[in-house]
Amino acid sequence: MAVYNPKSLRAEEFINDGEILETLEYAEKNKNNIELIDEILNKARPQKTESGTVCKGLTHREASVLLACDIPEKVEEIYRIAEEIKLSFYGNRIVMFAPLYLSNYCVNGCLYCPYHLKNKHIARKKLTQEEVRQEVIALQDMGHKRLAIEAGEDPVNNPIEYILDCIQTIYSVNHKNGAIRRVNVNIAATTVENYRKLKEAGIGTYILFQETYHKESYLKLHPTGPKHDYDYHTEAMDRAMEGGIDDVGLGVLFGLELYKYEFAGLIMHAEHLEAVHGVGPHTISVPRVKHADDIDPDVFDNSIPDEMFEKIIACIRLAVPYTGMIISTRESEEVRGKVLNLGISQISGASRTSVGGYTEEERPHDSEQFDVSDQRTLDEVVRWLMENGHIPSFCTACYREGRTGDRFMSLCKNGQILNCCHPNALMTLTEYLVDYASEETKKIGFELIGKELTKIPKDKVREIAVQNIEDIKASNRRDFRF
């Protein structure tokens, strides 16, 4: 019987089934223990210190107690603290990105994904380098600066060399004032050597969704293909970090297994990375199972209602206060609007989840990985964010200044990240408004920037930001950053 050990490099020890089951039992037993709940909430609250605001975060057991708690006033308190943490470390900035699907060839048999090998009626596509270039130009013409590239697992059609060529192509495209400044990579678990190659190619974050931490369910959901190997998949982040990638992104596909189990496993994985590598995940994503070609989400009887989904996001924010949180266009405008205040710091906009989708005028459905709920244009999403008091940020400065991994986390943990992130967000928003925005969005945006500039605490930083913004408006000079 495996023993729980967050410092172990063996999946069955750092994501330990026995420990999760004990945690869920403990949470159920204490979900109405007001004294304990108050203790946990007080621990989670941001604390003001001489050096700035700090947060202790929560263990998987403490966070699971809050998730199980159904006392209305305590749930409201969870939400209030989540918003306080979000504003303390990320401010009102929301980082924008788009997924770019390179290929849907795949050798796996995943039961929840239409790219699975046995699906014979989905259109199989793989972009040539010229097609990658055209997709990137289409994305740049919208105003995107940050991409997450996606590809099915297929050693023949999508070898690591193909992925590396695509990254090189993406970074090489400069169209008008457009440039992709950060490429995050979401591809199958691979070797330390391949992670080194990705690092050398200049990737931002390596993202890999666990799908489910429940090993028995995992094996059933991945009956064939290399992804069937639970341990190899679960231990991928350790290999990525060994390969020099210090920004990694976790995520589970909520709806495949019971959400309380997944939640505990997710927080345990974050604790493991912190214990072994000294830095937790750079991001956590929270996708839910959605309808897609030959995939019916109702087949999975663990779907979660919106209210519980919102609570999960708030509890993750309390548990891992310094980790970025991502929500995609899988979710509706309404759901996305609610969770922005509960901890989400990155969202996608105008996403196409099909291979080659951005160059098509009409949204293609024949090679989509999942149905997109929020189908607004990037301009509409940007305007909506600003109307709701958020700053859409196209910033990639930390990655390009080497503020990644523990360097990013140490800045974030002492609150200093706001001194450069806030003005960087305003400068990149100015670029978007000048180069891509509709007149209505420009008007709202420049008013917002004027107000937000007054919030920059350091006079010198504020003066430089104001000057840079004027330069962006008056010329084709771009890419200022602190």
Domain assignment of residue 466, given as a range? 418-474
Check whether residue 79 and residue 192 sit in a common domain: no
Check whether residue 77 and residue 113 sit in a common domain: no
HSE toward the beta carbon, residue 109, CA cutoff 13 A: 12
> Rounded to 5 degrees, what are φ and ψ at 347?
-135, 155
Check whether residue 63 and residue 115 sit in a common domain: no
Rounded Cα distance, 445 and 454, in Å: 15
- DSSP-assigned states of every residue in 262-323: HHHHHHHHHHHHHHHHS---SEEE--B---BTTB-GGGSTT---HHHHHHHHHHHHHHSTTS
Over residues 276-282, mean pLDDT: 96
CB-CB contact of 252 with 218 (8 Å): no
Check whether residue 158 and residue 114 sit in a common domain: yes
- Judge whether 380 lies within some domain: no
- Judge whether 455 lies within some domain: yes
Whether residue 235 is predicted with pLDDT greater than 70 in this model: the reply is yes
Whether residue 61 is predicted with pLDDT greater than 60 in this model: the reply is yes
How many residues are listed for the chain in this entry?
482
Rounded Cα distance, 286 and 239, in Å: 23
- Judge whether 5 lies within some domain: no
Lowest mean pLDDT among 384-393, 407-416, 434-443: 407-416
Whether residue 215 is predicted with pLDDT greater than 60 in this model: the reply is yes
* Domain tally, the chain: 3
Mean pLDDT for the chain overall: 92
- DSSP-assigned states of every residue in 24-45: HHHHHHHTT-HHHHHHHHHHHS
Check whether residue 167 and residue 242 sit in a common domain: yes
Instruction: Find where tokens 């391949």 sit.
Output: 194
- Judge whether 197 lies within some domain: yes
Query: Quick one: pLDDT at residue 419?
Result: 75
CB-CB contact of 334 with 327 (8 Å): no
Which CATH number characterizes residue 289's domain? 3.20.20.70
Question: Under 8 Å CB-to-CB from 427, ≥6 apart: which residues?
Answer: 395, 465, 468, 469, 472, 480, 481
CB-CB contact of 240 with 254 (8 Å): no
Using 50, 70 and 90 to split pLDDT, how confident is the model at 301?
low
- The most confident of the ranges 40-54, 286-300, 337-351 is 337-351
- Judge whether 392 lies within some domain: no
Using 50, 70 and 90 to split pLDDT, how confident is the model at 120?
confident
CB-CB contact of 276 with 9 (8 Å): yes
Rounded Cα distance, 211 and 214, in Å: 9
Check whether residue 443 and residue 365 sit in a common domain: no
Check whether residue 196 and residue 100 sit in a common domain: yes
- pLDDT tens profile 133-190: 999 999 999 999 999 999 999 999 999 999 999 999 999 999 999 999 999 999 999 9
Whether residue 225 is predicted with pLDDT greater than 90 in this model: the reply is yes
Question: Under 8 Å CB-to-CB from 430, ≥6 apart: which residues?
Answer: 445, 449, 469, 472, 473
SS3 for 151-185 is ECCCCCCCCHHHHHHHHHHHHHCEECCEECCEEEE
For the chain, helix (H) and strand (E) counts, in that order, are 20, 13
% helix / strand / coil in the chain, to the nearest 5? 50, 10, 40
Look at residue 7 and give its three-state secondary structure: coil
Pick the last residue of a domain from 31, 50, 84.
Answer: 84
Check whether residue 96 and residue 52 sit in a common domain: no
Instruction: Find where tokens 């003066």 sit.
Output: 463
- Judge whether 114 lies within some domain: yes
HSE toward the beta carbon, residue 222, CA cutoff 13 A: 22
- Judge whether 401 lies within some domain: no
Report the percentage of the chain scoring pLDDT > 90.
79
- The most confident of the ranges 204-213, 323-332, 392-401 is 204-213
Check whether residue 254 and residue 240 sit in a common domain: yes
Angle at 69 between CA 64 and CA 75, to 5 degrees: 110
CB atoms within 10 A of CB 428: 29
- Judge whether 35 lies within some domain: yes
Query: Quick one: pLDDT at residue 406?
Result: 72
Check whether residue 75 and residue 177 sit in a common domain: no
